Amino acid sequence: MERNELRRHLESRFTDGYRTSYDRENEVLRIERSADRFGVNIRLAPLVAKTKVRGEVAIDEVVDYIKTALSADDAVTLTGNEANIYPVIRSASFSTKTKRGEALATTPHTAETAIFYALDSGNGYRLIEERHLDGMPLTRLDELARENVKKLPTDLKEDTVAGNTFYFLATRDGYEASRVLNDEFLRVMERRIEGDMLVGVPHQDVMIIADVRNDEGYDAMQQLMFDFFTNGRIPVTALSFHYEDGGLEPIFIVGKKNPPSDA
């Protein structure tokens, strides 16, 4: 079953009492309860791979998971699921409450960003609410999430523009921006950088690291950040961060001219 066929099949399984929407760029299907918009995101690529091996059984399992998650969403247990807790980067202005008024677990990050936390199910994730902590200190939740994000791959694609090098992390696992919390990875990158190191998390599903060596590099980074921020499924910030000695400082780049045509 191919991606579009799978999407239509899933949508047909969620009609009365549900609403669906599809993010074509990131190939994510969102299924929500019509009554309160509580929902889950399903990444289609991993499910397509599973259906090619296991057939309809894989689809039935996902449907059962979604219906269980949407009908018994209060049953969130962190104990025993510590390996599935991840940090999620959001804009500092992102709501700290669910649509039902429940407070989300969150930690300050920078002036532009905040850290939320997710319990990953393999096919999607849901944000962790304060009531789900059940006595677990927020500091422990943050520690678990940061340790888990360090285990995620950090494969990069590389491009050069006017003598400046840009690295892109887009693994399509939903935690690309979360790698900004992997300081070990950032310090490794810092040792590779010859100019100024800029880090960007314009939306949830990408992280950009730039080795900026001239004005054209700053202009190109500004344009990249704006384009990704504008087109992202869950925008975070259009501002870049200057990274040095483990610290992230938001910066505003004043463009001098359009980026080179080979950007």
pLDDT at 100 over 80: no
pLDDT at 141 over 70: yes
pLDDT at 260 over 50: no
**Beta carbons within 8 Å of 139's beta carbon, 6+ residues apart:** none
Sheet with 28-33, side-by-side order of all strands: 18-23, 28-33, 39-43
pLDDT bucket at 73, cuts 50 / 70 / 90: low
Residue 168 pairs in a beta bridge with 157, 208
The number of angstroms, rounded, from the C-alpha of 192 to the middle of its chain's C-alpha atoms is: 25
pTM as predicted = 0.74
State how far the Cα of 26 lies from the Cα of 86, in Å rounded to an integer: 19
Each residue of 157-182: pLDDT tens digit? Answer: 999 999 999 999 999 888 999 999 99
CB 191 within 8 A of CB 170: no
pLDDT bucket at 74, cuts 50 / 70 / 90: low
- Across 102-126, average pLDDT: 90
CB 99 within 8 A of CB 37: yes
Cβ count within 10 A of residue 178: 24
pLDDT at 255 over 70: no
Each residue of 120-140: pLDDT tens digit? Answer: 877 678 899 999 999 999 999
What pLDDT shows up at residue 111? 95
State how far the Cα of 98 lies from the Cα of 22, in Å rounded to an integer: 21
What pLDDT shows up at residue 253? 79
**Beta carbons within 8 Å of 35's beta carbon, 6+ residues apart:** 17
State how far the Cα of 4 lies from the Cα of 1, in Å rounded to an integer: 8
- Of the candidates 25, 22, 71, 47, which has an alpha carbon nearest to the alpha carbon of residue 170? 25
What pLDDT shows up at residue 113? 97
Report the mean per-residue pLDDT for the chain.
89
What pLDDT shows up at residue 98? 84
pLDDT at 87 over 80: yes
- Of the candidates 206, 255, 204, 261, which has an alpha carbon nearest to the alpha carbon of residue 234? 204
Percentage above 90 pLDDT, the chain: 63
What pLDDT shows up at residue 225? 96
